[in-house]
Amino acid sequence: MAGDRLLVIAAFLASAAVSADEALIANQAIWTAAAITTYEYRYRKVCDCHRDTPADTIVAVEDSVVVDVRYERADYVSDMPVNPAEFQWFRTIDDLFTLVANAERNATTLRVSYDETLGYPAYIYIDYDHSLIGDEVELEVVDVRASE
Domains within the chain, CATH numbers bracketed? 2-146 (2.50.20)
CA distance 46 to 56: 10
69, 47, 74: which is closest to 57 by C-alpha? 69
Helix (H) or strand (E) holding 40: strand 39-45
- 34, with CB counted inside 10 A (0-12, 13-18, 19+), is middle
Instruction: Give Cα 55 distance to the centre of its chain.
Output: 16
CA distance 43 to 145: 12
> pLDDT tens track of the chain, all 148 residues?
555 554 444 444 444 554 788 999 999 999 999 999 999 999 988 766 555 556 789 999 999 999 999 988 777 777 888 999 999 999 999 999 999 999 999 888 999 999 999 999 999 999 988 888 777 889 999 999 999 7
pTM: 0.81
Which amino acid is it at 53? T
